[in-house]
Structure 1
């Protein structure tokens, strides 16, 4: 809990700057959105965790009936609500929550989304089990996760230094195979694997898993 609290404070502190930063790989992001939309139905109720300032939830809102988008950062959620109000989007609800302590009943959601967040969760095993619990039987978990073991080694050296000075939150160093094993261990069957980056080496596996 202390880890989550400290990370929430970090994200609260940088939320406004984060909201202003552009997407690094716009084409790759749009491809991820499009592939995700292909797995969504108009009747779906969707759960997203690590939603940040709500950009993805708002972009997908027109595809589904309802989205509950969550984050540990109250400031991120505040910005997301501001954006939803500005866009007139009424079928997205933004909440402070994590999958492992989410207040919703078992089998509430048709689809769960976790983009660019699993590597930032120290309690990843509990989070994945929480996602599994929240999904209906046959429901889908769609994720895209930076795998730092597949990235420039300098990044792995720099992160502890940045953390020492309060410039980075918790970050886990994974590769794609480890990530898949953890998702499978939570009870999921991985049914789709893709890579969507349009420049450089793609170290962010896009995975679709079924409960």
Structure 2
């Protein structure tokens, strides 16, 4: 799932991106209100983490602008602990409010709770369950099942499978996989994608009769249910 962090404190923003990426999320970061509003308006995010005090446009103004066009869940992060400040944020359209400093475990729990609600235009199944043939991916519970059997995946393997499943039938290049899953510019000397795909295929396909993850020579990889 894709998150946007709008936070001007560089150390905290980097900490959040690292921790949430390790949990399997795809994370973009904006350092000010102007960039945050632009990304939130243009990107297809499942949730926005929004600092209350930002340069350019403050968090409440960003939130108010977003609520004119979309209902993406927003979790406000702020150093303001006064009740009236929290009330203002919630009244402006925030879905939850977390006061700094906070424990990462609590932040993660609040994110998961908000994601479980889904977007108003989606049913919970549409929002959180991906399926292909006998493969099922639960994005909230972080579970992958095939033919009723649990697949024990690492966070990166889960993220890789999630991307492939979201775009099932589409050939994804090594460059795109590296950018989307590892947030890195692809280096031809790096075999991180090939290694990850090989390990995922061992868990996803080898125990079963019908492979789903296919290599397209010279182009990349595709997840699809092909006829025998």
| TM-score range for the pair, normalised by the shorter chain length | 0.3 to 0.5
* TM-score, normalising length: structure 1: 0.37
Bigger RCO (CA 8 Å, 6+ sep)? 1
Specify the structure having the higher radius of gyration (Cα): 2
TM-score, normalised via structure 2 length: 0.34
